[in-house]
């Protein structure tokens, strides 16, 4: 192997080869197609060498471990959600009055407070249709049924107007 004079780079010596003695001779595809000297066959052979196979195996194992970790985390989140939902008990009651905050203070949400025998509960950001139906229900003597959960009993989850 004929080498040209040694070149120094940060204290290390690197041999250079002449164009006639390249370690990977130019294949039929040339430099432009793959960005490096060598044919597709030579690149495949390079990928079969032991260090590259070990890296590929390690990468595959890491991906498998990552998928297992994601599945475990998903199961934990699902179990926590099930426990939280099962701990909540839905309750309902018939409202006997209401307060409709049509124009709230700046930065505050629109709210309708429904009065139940055991206290007030709030419906935050009701739709215009909900405003209209609740006002009409109390005006014409219909039932307004509120639903809340035991975890936050002051906040209504839904409202239903029952026309008699």
Instruction: Quote the pLDDT of residue 164.
Output: 79
Q: Answer for the pair 110, 104: CB distance below 8 angstroms, yes or no.
A: yes
Instruction: Quote the pLDDT of residue 74.
Output: 79
Instruction: Quote the pLDDT of residue 40.
Output: 65
Distance in angstroms (rounded) separating the CA atoms of residues 3 and 1: 6
Strands 158-162 and 111-116: unpaired
Distance in Å from the first CA to the final CA of the chain = 102
Q: How many CB atoms lie within 10 A of CB 154?
A: 10
Answer whether 0.75 is exceeded by the pTM.
no
Instruction: Quote the pLDDT of residue 9.
Output: 46
Mean pLDDT, the chain cut into blocks of 10 residues (164 residues total): 49 50 47 51 64 68 71 79 73 94 90 95 94 94 93 92 88
User: Is 16 strand, coil or helix?
Assistant: coil
Max Cα distance, the chain (Å): 104
Instruction: Quote the pLDDT of residue 27.
Output: 45
Instruction: Quote the pLDDT of residue 102.
Output: 81
Instruction: Quote the pLDDT of residue 111.
Output: 94
Q: How many CB atoms lie within 10 A of CB 69?
A: 10
Instruction: Quote the pLDDT of residue 67.
Output: 75
Instruction: Quote the pLDDT of residue 62.
Output: 67
Instruction: Quote the pLDDT of residue 47.
Output: 62
């Amino acid at each position: 192997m004929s080498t040209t004079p040694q070149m120094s780079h940060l204290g290390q010596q690197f041999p250079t080869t002449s164009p006639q003695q390249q370690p990977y001779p130019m294949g039929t595809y040339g430099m432009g197609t793959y960005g490096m000297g060598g044919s597709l066959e030579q690149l495949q052979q390079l990928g079969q060498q032991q260090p590259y196979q070990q890296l590929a195996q390690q990468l595959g194992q890491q991906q498998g471990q990552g998928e297992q970790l994601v599945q475990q985390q998903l199961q934990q989140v699902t179990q926590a959600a099930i426990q939280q939902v099962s701990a909540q008990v839905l309750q309902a009651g018939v409202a006997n009055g209401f307060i409709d905050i049509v124009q709230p203070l700046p930065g505050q949400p629109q709210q309708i407070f429904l009065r139940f025998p055991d206290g007030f509960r709030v419906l935050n950001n009701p739709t215009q249709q909900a405003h209209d139906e609740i006002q009409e229900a109390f005006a014409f003597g219909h039932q307004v049924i509120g639903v809340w959960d035991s975890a936050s009993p002051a906040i209504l989850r839904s409202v239903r107007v029952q026309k008699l």
